[in-house]
Structure 1
Amino acid sequence: MIHGVPLPGGQLRVHRAPDHLVMEFHGEIDIAAALEILPILDAATTPPETLLVIDLTPTTFLDCSGLALLCRARTRLEERDGDLLLVCPHPLILRTLRVLHLTARLRPAPTLEEALRGRLRAAG
């Protein structure tokens, strides 16, 4: 996995924090981007990873392929007693998550700090 360096397509940047891994989705996340991201996402959702943050702040577009990536990551982490935090400040993407009844499952937060605080509150 490439940490802190964007992939050739430019849609993904990955970096490690002390207790979690952050994947930033950049630009348009469509089927072509999802195909590039998928193997890296699968690697990031296998042990020993237990906490993954997907940050959609730099995302300008997310289609059903991007939504499938989010659901796949959540499922893979849940199967391994891990957790996914989703950062999403975009009203249109949030509306899509609401319409598809995915907000309860993905629990989007507007900032990374709020996502991490929300996890601490839920654990405590």
Structure 2
Amino acid sequence: MLDRIAVLPATLLTAPQYVAEATARSAESEDYFWKLERRQTFQEPDDASYQAFVRGDWEEAQRIENDGRDALRRRFVEQGFVLRRVRVVESPITPYLQWEMRALRVRAEAGEEIRVLDASTGAASP
């Protein structure tokens, strides 16, 4: 089933376009806002933790994520809906995913509902 995602109609958005659309759609949410992520590498130049990761400073990247936990918790409460994320991962695990899994752990501890799915479990049957 997940292998069909790549062939579904879609619009490629720039980062600012994505943020604007996600903000608009989340404003329409009353209960839940779902996010599906499948890319195995990604660039997040506006994220301080990501920048620390890119520099190879894993300790600093983790510290930045941990320091943001309370602010995330408050944001999740204030937004008035539950953010649910499904993160599809493939092997081998990329360095980006290693960093992101640490960030997602903090987000989960702050109240985001996150599930990680091995891509092979969603593959089409032979």
More strand per residue? 1
Q: TM-score, normalised by structure 2?
A: 0.45
Q: Which has the larger radius of gyration?
A: 2
More helix per residue? 2
Q: TM-score, normalised by structure 1?
A: 0.45
